[in-house]
Amino acid sequence: MTVLYAITVTLMIGVPILLAIAFRRRFRALWLLWTAGAVAFFLSQVFHLPLNNLLGRAGLISPVGPDAPNLLRTAIVLGLSAGVCEGLMRVATFWFLDRRGLVDRWSGGVMVGLGHGGIEAMILGAITALSVAGLLGLRGTDLATLGLTPDQLAALEKQMAVVSAPSAAALLPLVERLMAMALQVAVSLLVWLAFRRRNALYAVAGILYHALVDAALVYVGQFVTNPWLLEGILFFFLLPGLLVIGWSYRRWGAAEPAHRPPPLREEWSRFGALLRKELLEQWRTRKVLVVGVVFLLFGLMSPLLARFTSDLLKALPEAEQFAGLIPEPKTADAVAQYVKNLTQFGFIVAILLGMGAIAGERERGTAAMTLSKPVPRWAYVLAKFDAQALVWLVALLPAGLAAWYYTGLLFEPGLALGPFMLGNALLWVWLLAFVAAALLGSAIGRTTVIAAGLGLLFSVTLLVGGAFPQAAALLPAGLVPWISQLGIPDPVAVNGWGALAGSIVLVLFCLMTAVGVVERQEV
| Closest to 106 (Cα-Cα) out of 12, 191, 163 | 191
Of 95-99, 182-186, 443-447, the least confident: 443-447
Could you read off the pLDDT of 238-257 as tens digits, one per residue? 999 999 999 999 999 988 88
> CB-based contacts of 312: which residues, under 8 Å, 6+ apart?
none
| CB-CB contact of 440 with 493 (8 Å) | no
Cis before 66? omega within 30: no
The amino acid occupying position 463 is L
Angle between helix 497-520 and helix 106-136 axes, rounded to 10 deg = 160
pLDDT at 466: 80
Of 81-85, 139-143, 272-276, 519-523, the least confident: 139-143
Could you read off the pLDDT of 337-396 as tens digits, one per residue? 999 989 888 888 888 888 778 888 888 877 777 777 778 889 999 999 999 999 999 999
Phi, psi dihedral angles at 280 (to 5 degrees)? -65, -40
Could you read off the pLDDT of 394-440 as tens digits, one per residue? 999 999 999 999 898 888 887 899 999 999 999 999 999 999 999 99
> CB-based contacts of 390: which residues, under 8 Å, 6+ apart?
279
Is the confidence at residue 275, as pLDDT, over 60?
Answer: yes
Q: Helices in 137-171 by DSSP H: which ranges? A: 150-164
pLDDT at 143: 65
Could you read off the pLDDT of 453-507 as tens digits, one per residue? 888 888 888 888 888 877 888 999 999 999 999 988 888 888 889 999 999 999 9
pLDDT at 313: 56
The DSSP 8-state label assigned to residue 477 in this structure reads: G
pLDDT at 12: 95
pLDDT at 250: 94
| CB-CB contact of 180 with 36 (8 Å) | no
Could you read off the pLDDT of 53-67 as tens digits, one per residue? 999 888 888 888 777
Rounded CA-CA distance 139/326 in Å is: 36
pLDDT at 287: 84
pTM of the shown model: 0.92
| CB-CB contact of 304 with 406 (8 Å) | yes
Using pLDDT thresholds of 50, 70 and 90, give the confidence band for residue 325.
low
Rounded CA-CA distance 244/189 in Å is: 8
Is the confidence at residue 444, as pLDDT, over 60?
Answer: yes
What is the mean predicted confidence (pLDDT) over 226-240?
91
Rounded CA-CA distance 434/168 in Å is: 36
What sign does the dihedral 191-29-276-358 (CA atoms) show?
negative
Residue of 260 and 94 predicted with greater confidence: 94
> CB-based contacts of 366: which residues, under 8 Å, 6+ apart?
none
**CA torsion angle 300 302 305 308 (round to 10):** -70
The amino acid occupying position 299 is G
| % pLDDT > 90, the chain | 51
